[in-house]
Amino acid sequence: MRVLSPSAVHSSLEAIVAAYRGQGGGEVTLTFETAPALAARLAGGEIADVVIAPPKVMDELVGTGKVHPAGRFQLGRVGVGIVVRAGAPLPDISSTEALTCSLLAADAIIHTRASSGIYVAQLLERLGVAATIKAKTTTYHDAQGAFTRLANGSGREIGFGGITEIRRWSDRGLKLVGPLPPDIQNYTTYIAALSAAAINPEGARAFLAFLASAAAHSIFTAHGVD
């Protein structure tokens, strides 16, 4: 049984699959992609049994007949965090004004083109700094590319990403500075659904039932999914 999901819930899904197998559940293969690219992969003919996506993408998938409209449910939400290379100076993010000053003073700004990165790009416009920092801002397809670049960087570089993804890199050279200030924080909600082209619908429904269980909820919470 195959699950296609954004990487923001990577660690929690791995732990949930381990718990599912431990309770006698079937084999589950996890494939991760950014939410914006996930719909394109399914439109191109990629097959999954269970699909996880933010509401807007999920609505698009329902509209194109890629997932069943009934039985969808919310897994949780993930906020945007600020990340730097381990050992680098910590930027002041205590307020929106402080973060804006830190961005202007940074040597480089790094974010993805995933859901969190799309929001960050819009946020930089709202803060009025996008044009000023454009030359030192670099975007990457996903967290793997963005965080690899940040971990191998130098100087005062600031990155953005889903808080759960940043935590996964805590032992790979990155440090979570903290979440965005409350007045500009943004949460991406994740929804699970049965694929309309499921090869193993029975197994998919069994795994979806486990995803909706209290045990799975505890795992999501432990990995930073609200």
Of the CA atoms within 13 Å of residue 73, those in its CB half-sphere come to: 11
pLDDT of residue 166: 94
Would you put residue 71 in left (φ > 0), alpha (ψ -120 to 50) or beta? Answer: left
Residue whose entry in the numeric block shows the structure tokens 């990487």? 7
Q: Assign 71 a pLDDT band (cuts: 50, 70, 90).
A: confident
For Cα atoms 60, 64, 113, give the angle at the middle one, nearest 5 degrees: 40
- Mean pLDDT value across residues 40-52: 93
How many residues would you count in the chain? 226
pLDDT band at 8 (very low <50, low <70, confident <90, very high): confident
Separate counts of helices (H) and strands (E) for the chain? 10, 9
CB 165 within 8 A of CB 80: no
Beta bridge partner(s), residue 197: none
Structural domains of the chain sorted by starting position, each given as residue range(s) with its CATH number in brackets: 2-76+189-222 (3.40.190.10), 78-184 (3.40.190.10)
Q: Name residue, tokens 């499921």.
A: 198
| Tokens encoding 212 | 């909706």
* pLDDT bucket at 226, cuts 50 / 70 / 90: confident
